[in-house]
Amino acid sequence: MKKIGDFKLTLFVFFLLFTIGVVSGANAPYIGPYIQDVKGDSITIMWVTNGSETSKVEYKNETFTKNISNNNHQCIATPDTACFHRVNLTGLKPATSYTYRVHFSDSLDLWTDYFTFKTAPDANSSFRIAVYGDTRLDFSNSTDASKHSEVVKQIISHNPEIVIHLGDFALNAKCYNEWVPQFFSPVEPLLHNISFFTAIGNHEVQNFACPESKILLYDYFFPEKLWYSFTYGSALFIGLQVENEKYNINKNIAQLDWLNKELNSSEYLAAKWHFVFLHSSIYTNDINHTNNLKVINQLVPIFQTKGVDMVFSGHSHTYERSSKDGIYYIVTGGGGADISKFRKNTSNNSFSQVRILDYNHVTLDITPKNVKMNAWYNNGSILDSLEIH
């Protein structure tokens, strides 16, 4: 009887392992699901698989459950074949929480776990966002993303509604195989539930080591938006492209024309607060970088004329706060890349007020009456703080 029992146990273990193997290999998402482009009445769910299954999302709240599906996926010939799935959910209510999951096997009818998202609030609401950048690894360290994970842990502790990433997601960001270990794996606890808005960094456009010539950021985030704006509560945010030579604001008049129209739009004029984000640090004392004179000459006068409140950037792997003509310029490039060094004096950036060499991120608490900014060390203590009214 003991031998029969052992044989049955062996069969059971074999069956269990076989079942796990079938499920795990059935095109389960290896990235996501993650949410994008959150608005008051809509949101986009994205995920990446190795197979071209039907793109299907189930979402619900206390009063209803709905399924929506399409064939809106694009499969790209990567080493493992990446299929990017994208489903738009519309007709949602502002400032409302929903539960969702995604379907990833037509043949086995398999679904992911349930996750949650919250739609954007109205202009009378208070909310918190997080901002950080430069999460890539370095040529001297291309395997250890623990510093990025520590930043993410601190961001989660502050419970933001959205996150803005300022670019440089991976060291060789034209290599598909670097996105998961350097970005998607560390931010997985955030991505399921919180929408990321992104700027493009120089490591997304430069080709250091990979044969891919395309900018992979446009596969993972906002394929149709090279520069864009979005309204969230009482604030309007503008994301600019200053790295890609083809669309650089200094060489392509289309982006500058768009920006001038945006700064005169009804949405911009209706917003209480105005924020700009881009990758390249405009003012910096970083020993490895200089002030971005092209942006200073072309864009800073426009920011001043149109009442921009804050400009966020990365590129310099530091924290630095500068102030010029009523606008705060915040560099928060301490998301995971090796920390840089400052020049011995501030002659390169006479507008510098606070300079910190450490990993960091920023939170904004935004209300219709004021904005409070806190910059944070990875140990949870505040490294800088300011408030505007």
Expressed as residue numbers, the domain containing 308 is: 127-388
Rounded to whole angstroms, how far apart are CA atoms 222 and 30?
19
Say whether both 113 and 131 belong to one domain: no
CATH of the domain at 102: 2.60.40.10
Residues 44 and 177 in one domain: no
Last residue of a domain, one of 118, 145, 178: 118
The number of distinct structural domains making up the chain is 2
Which of 62, 90, 118 is where one domain is finished? 118
CA 205 to chain centre: 17
Asked if the structure places residue 8 within a domain, the reply is no
Residue 283 falls inside a structural domain = yes
**Residues 73 and 161 grouped into a single domain:** no
Q: What is the dihedral of CA 333, 237, 191, 363, to 10 degrees?
A: 50
- Across the beta sheet with 382-388, the strand order is 195-198, 162-165, 127-132, 361-366, 371-376, 382-388
| Shared-domain flag, residues 70 and 132 | no
Q: Is residue 137 part of a domain?
A: yes
Q: Which residue has the tokens 């409070």?
A: 372
CA distances from 361 to 13, 141, 156, 245 (A): 46, 21, 11, 28
Question: Which among 158, 155, 198, 228 has a CA at the least distance from the CA of 314?
Answer: 198
Is 3 within the bounds of a domain?
no
Q: Identify whether 20 is part of a domain.
A: no
The reply to whether 204 falls in a domain is yes
Residues 112 and 141 in one domain: no
* Edge-to-edge strand list for the sheet holding 310-313: 228-232, 235-239, 273-277, 310-313, 327-332, 319-324, 352-356
Distance, CA of 3 to CA of 321 (rounded, Å): 72
In a domain, 220, yes or no: yes
210 and 332, same domain (yes or no): yes
Q: Compute the Cα dihedral for 169, 170, 171, 175 and give only its sign.
A: negative
Domain boundary among 118, 140, 160: 118
> Digits of tens for pLDDT over the chain (389 positions)?
444 445 444 433 333 333 333 334 455 778 999 999 999 999 999 998 887 778 889 999 988 888 887 766 777 766 667 788 889 999 999 999 999 999 887 778 889 999 999 999 999 999 999 999 999 987 766 678 999 999 999 999 999 999 999 999 999 888 888 899 999 999 999 999 999 999 998 888 887 777 666 788 888 887 667 789 999 999 999 999 887 655 556 566 788 899 999 999 999 999 999 999 999 999 998 988 888 888 888 899 999 999 999 999 999 999 999 999 999 999 999 999 999 999 888 778 899 999 999 999 999 999 999 999 999 999 999 999 999 99
Task: Say which CATH number the domain at 357 has.
Answer: 3.60.21.10
212 and 84, same domain (yes or no): no
